């Protein structure tokens, strides 16, 4: 089945809701077992909640599952986590267990640093740490980010889309032909209606990651035994970055998987199984 076909089934089976909190508009899907522990899934760099389609129904059998897009009104990561906190309070969420992929994993770390004692667990997928060494490395790698952001704001975005799709497909590693075709359809489907304003927003959040106060090991002490890291062996984040992430956490459980940065979506069943096993025995 293709991404576009999965998307049609997902949108037909799940209720989308909208809520404005302190002027920020949250588009979200909340499903699952009421009264159960709450899993909050944090988006990667496309900022589309539908990236988690392959996770929801399996996890919702035993947990509440919240998906949401980052509101465009929240322009920095500090604004984002503050807005998330207010949103959670509004819908009655306490002690969220974050499942964060890529940049979403970094947002989860910022939230944990800011709201000590208010996080129920961390499951970080295909991500790096918000430690000083990783941030320094990312600053060097993306020193041109402000220029790219300026270009994105003023370019013909429709002409830029094919280049962005090719860049996304550059994350394919040893995935099968079927998986690569799924990824191609995913990018084409998403970018068909993707707006420049949304891309500028999420790109601004990504660039702002480098401006954050680095996290440190004490920020995660209270979550010892409640942290799972799922790390692909050919990820965008280097082996050095993965090791630095591991050192930040307190006795994390580590699951190594084959594949690249897109395996979060392309191998969702394997990831869901690892998450369920971890939740059942650790949280």
Q: Tell me how many domains the chain contains.
A: 1
Distance in Å from the first CA to the final CA of the chain: 33
Q: How confident is the model at residue 90 (pLDDT cuts 50, 70, 90)?
A: very high
| Per-residue pLDDT tens digits for 126-143 | 999 999 999 998 888 777
Pairing of the two strands 17-21 and 64-68: unpaired
CB 222 within 8 A of CB 96: no
pLDDT digits (tens, 9 = 90+) for 44-70: 999 999 999 999 999 999 999 999 999
In sequence order, what DSSP letters do the residues of 122-189 get, joined into one string?
EEEES----SHHHHHHHHHHTTTHHHHHHHHHHS-HHHHHHHHHHHHHTT--S--HHHHHHHHHHHHH
> Is the Cβ–Cβ distance between 113 and 139 less than 8 Å?
no
Domain around 177: 3-282
Nearest to 93 by CA among 22, 25, 30, 24: 30
pLDDT tens track for 246-281: 999 989 999 999 999 999 999 999 999 999 999 999
Evaluate whether 124 touches 103 at the Cβ level (below 8 Å).
no
CATH number at residue 108: 3.40.50.1820
């Amino acid at each position: 089945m293709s991404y576009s076909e999965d998307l049609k089934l997902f949108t037909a089976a799940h209720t989308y809701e909208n809520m404005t909190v302190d002027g920020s508009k949250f588009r979200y899907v909340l499903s699952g077992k009421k009264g159960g522990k709450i899993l909050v899934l944090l988006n990667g760099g496309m900022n589309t909640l539908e990236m988690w389609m392959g996770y929801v129904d399996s996890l919702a059998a035993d947990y509440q599952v919240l998906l949401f897009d980052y509101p465009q009104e929240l322009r920095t990561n500090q604004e984002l986590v503050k807005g998330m906190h207010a949103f959670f309070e509004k819908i009655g969420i306490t002690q969220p267990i974050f499942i964060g992929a890529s940049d979403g994993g970094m947002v989860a770390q910022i939230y944990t640093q800011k709201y000590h004692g208010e996080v129920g667990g961390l499951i970080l997928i295909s991500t790096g740490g918000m430690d000083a060494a990783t941030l320094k490395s990312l600053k060097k790698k993306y020193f041109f980010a402000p220029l790219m952001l300026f270009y994105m704001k003023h370019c013909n975005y429709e002409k830029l889309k094919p280049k962005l799709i090719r860049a996304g497909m550059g994350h394919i590693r040893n995935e099968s032909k079927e998986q690569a075709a799924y990824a191609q359809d995913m990018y084409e489907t998403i970018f068909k209606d993707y707006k420049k304003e949304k891309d500028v927003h999420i790109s601004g959040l990504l660039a702002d990651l480098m401006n954050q106060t680095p996290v440190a090991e004490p920020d995660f002490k209270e979550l010892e035994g409640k942290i799972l890291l799922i790390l692909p062996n050919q990820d965008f984040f280097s082996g050095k970055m993965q090791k630095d992430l591991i050192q930040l956490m307190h006795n994390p459980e580590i699951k190594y998987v084959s594949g690249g940065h897109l395996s979060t979506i392309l191998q969702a069943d394997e990831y869901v199984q690892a998450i369920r096993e971890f939740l059942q025995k650790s949280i």
